[in-house]
Chain A
């Protein structure tokens, strides 16, 4: 069990550019979550997948954001036309859940995005 991995760990980009982050969940975990954490705040939910299906999206996920999990394994989060307000830590989590009381989410190290 190698844990949740995220790449890259850091990304610096200029405003208006597109960026893509990758998350590899714990093997065989069926759920995958994306959260965003800004300085001084707790993580905020963005979206989650059960296998390859995207089941829930937060209002924070504007139309510039898109997430995929094409084969039910790794996931990508793309931000188009980045804005300075997108600067944050993007966290991925995965779980093997059959019900809410077994849904323990394990987090990756995060990708820190800085938009100049």
Chain B
């Protein structure tokens, strides 16, 4: 079985500051990892995904994430926060090769950006 833990249910950063949202995974088989963003009363939008190619993955809106197998982590970063980044962010995992394609999500991290 696979699982995802997101450290920090709420993160606040100043506009222009570094954004770091933490995600650790647990999977018995090689994982595929995803970050999604959710704005209020909307569905989820894919930011980026890791599928065993390059360990540093670049996504939309200036976000990137690095897959670190030794740390079982897939943290999301952005060098400079913008007000429009305020939203809830979800890390998710698919256990590749396990015969299931369901996404298992973390509980989410709500990002606030202070002007």
Contact = CB atoms under 8 A, between A and B. Distances in A.
Interface of A: 4, 6, 31, 33, 35, 40-45, 48, 56, 58, 91, 93, 95, 97, 100-110, 112
Contact of B108 (A35, A41, A56, A105): A41
B43 A108 contact: yes
B46 A106 contact: yes
A108 B100 CA distance: 21
B37 to A, nearest CB: 11
A42 B108 contact: yes
Interface in B93-115: 94, 96-97, 100-108
Given A43-B44, A91-B44, A100 B104 contact: no
Contact of A45 (B49, B97, B102): B102
B94 A103 contact: yes
Interface residues of B, number: 28
B45 A107 contact: yes
Contact of B92 (A40, A42, A48): A42
Contacts of B106: 42
B107 A100 contact: no
B90 interface: yes
Contacts of B101: 31, 33, 48, 56, 95, 97, 100, 103
A35 B103 CA distance: 9
